[in-house]
Amino acid sequence: MSGLPEPEKTGRKHKRRRSKGKSAGRVPSQSAKEFASGHSNGGATQSPRKITPPVYAALDLGTNNCRLLVARPSRRGFRVVDAFSRIIRLGEGVSTTGMLSEEAMKRTIDALQVCSKKMQRRAVKRSRLIATQACRVAGNADEFIERVREKTGLELEIIDQETEARLAVSGCASLLEPNSSGALVFDIGGGSSELIWLDLRNQQSPSRNSLKDRLAAQSSISCWTSLPIGVVTISEKFGGHDVTPQIFEEMVLYVMDLLEGFEQKNQIADQLMSGNAYLLGTSGTVTTLAGIYLGLPFYDRRKVDGCWLKAIDVRDVSRVLVNMSFEKRAAQPCIGNERADLVLGGCAILEAIMRMWPCERLRVADRGLREGILASLMAEDNVGQSRQRNRAKRNRRER
């Protein structure tokens, strides 16, 4: 992944032990071209028939969540045919012990077994199954990856921060405004947070509708960084159950200190203020705050994904949550008991981002790494182009 500026160094260094190869984690299969050709009898020509697009899968195993998307290519990108999400807290305690706990690994393997069954039932032809920060830093990550392979048959790929940043950009590229000068994309994860500044002044395809256009959004990356802090790690450091306004402010200042070097090197604040730029958040923190602000009786992705929030409204929701008891936070339909001890950590990271880079507009993306994976796999297979060529052949025969 050459061509990107080196990220500003933040926090401790992690030994890079994993290949960035794109083949890891895929289900061996025939190519999309072979699958779509309709030839299974040694090349003999068959009568035209309806072509069924191959099925793809993307799995994102994070510090806090295990998420799966299964999709087929469509005219407008892809259509989701199955999905799965479960809070597994794989990285629980890793920031202090440096190891994945036995209980966390068991929880995660249980969730991955569900994912494996879904992929088999949907006859997935190609996939990419990634693991992020918890597995990047844990001393027993290799053992865990092997256990996953033995128990589920899934081959996990531990990706580095640069790959994670690129996938996040491709995943939310369709939400980039065509007339904007720039966007600060951020992904507040469980164990790390990625920030990417996109210079959109010379974007070639502002619509970002096609799969290849979504990948092309990566060419707008001007600079990026990865912080060794996320909702799990910051909550373990400062506490997440009983958070006073004073503790919340300490969290914010701690994160701002981590952001300072990135801002000094790249002067993003000046670019945000001088142009038609905005913040684009692709994380559970911003989707949760959006759901609460919208007053949803239950979380509804259709109403949250792509919505716009004002900075003052985001701060109002965070302020209300800080003054709530743990029980009241857990009772919020867009939070729940499993995330009530993590949400304020995410709010603190978001507040630090908004203080470092003041901006009135924030766009919410309920999409990210999995969507970026699906776009990249399908674009690599030229699935859309294959369908167009087949359609052209049929039209010529009909004439």
Q: What is the pLDDT of residues 197-226, one digit of tens each?
A: 999 987 665 555 677 778 888 889 999 999
Residue 37 confidence (pLDDT) = 37
- List, as one string, the DSSP characters of 27-66: PP---HHHHHH---STT------PPPPPPEEEEEE-SSEE
Indicate the pLDDT class of residue 16, thresholds 50, 70 and 90: very low
What is the distance of C-alpha 198 from the center of its chain? 16
Q: What is the pLDDT of residues 45-101, one digit of tens each?
A: 555 566 788 999 999 999 999 999 999 998 878 999 999 999 999 999 999 999 999
Residue 201 confidence (pLDDT) = 86
Q: Alpha helices, DSSP H only, in 153-244?
A: 161-171, 211-216, 231-238
Indicate the pLDDT class of residue 390, thresholds 50, 70 and 90: low
Query: What are the phi and psi torsion angles at 378 (to 5°)?
Result: -70, -40
d(CA 135, CA 141): 5
Q: What value does the mean pLDDT of the chain take?
A: 86
Is pLDDT above 70 for 41? no
Pairing mode of beta strands 361-364, 221-227: unpaired
d(CA 166, CA 181): 19
Compute the chain's Rg from CA coordinates.
22
Indicate the pLDDT class of residue 123, thresholds 50, 70 and 90: very high
Least confident of 202-206, 245-249, 361-365: 202-206
Residue 211 confidence (pLDDT) = 79
**What is the number of alpha carbons within 13 Å of residue 282 lying toward its C-beta?**
27
Residue 266 confidence (pLDDT) = 96
d(CA 131, CA 108): 11
Phi-psi label, residue 4: left if phi above 0, alpha if psi -120 to 50, beta otherwise: beta
Residue 183 confidence (pLDDT) = 95
Residue 40 confidence (pLDDT) = 41
**Topology adopted by domain 175-367:** Nucleotidyltransferase; domain 5 (3.30.420)
Q: What is the pLDDT of residues 272-326, one digit of tens each?
A: 887 789 999 998 999 999 999 999 999 999 999 999 999 999 999 999 999 999 9
Indicate the pLDDT class of residue 28, thresholds 50, 70 and 90: very low
Indicate the pLDDT class of residue 23, thresholds 50, 70 and 90: very low
Indicate the pLDDT class of residue 12, thresholds 50, 70 and 90: very low
User: Contact 86/111 with Cβ under 8 angstroms?
Assistant: yes
Q: Alpha helices, DSSP H only, in the chain?
A: 32-37, 94-97, 102-121, 133-137, 141-152, 161-171, 211-216, 231-238, 245-266, 268-274, 284-293, 301-304, 311-322, 326-331, 343-356, 369-380, 383-398
What are the residue ranges of CATH 3.30.420.150 in the chain?
175-367
Is pLDDT above 50 for 252? yes
Tell me, yes or no, if the pTM score tops 0.85.
Answer: no
Residue 51 confidence (pLDDT) = 73
Least confident of 34-48, 154-168, 290-304: 34-48
Residue 38 confidence (pLDDT) = 37
Q: What is the pLDDT of residues 143-152, one digit of tens each?
A: 999 999 999 9
User: Contact 67/74 with Cβ under 8 angstroms?
Assistant: no
What are the residue ranges of CATH 3.30.420.40 in the chain?
52-159
Indicate the pLDDT class of residue 11, thresholds 50, 70 and 90: very low
378 Cβ contact list (under 8 Å, min separation 6): 32, 56, 73, 77, 78, 211, 384
Mean of pLDDT values over 29-53: 49
**Topology adopted by domain 52-159:** Nucleotidyltransferase; domain 5 (3.30.420)
Query: What are the phi and psi torsion angles at 57 (to 5°)?
Result: -140, 145
Least confident of 18-27, 95-104, 380-389: 18-27
Is pLDDT above 70 for 375? yes
Q: How many percent of the chain have pLDDT more than 90?
A: 71
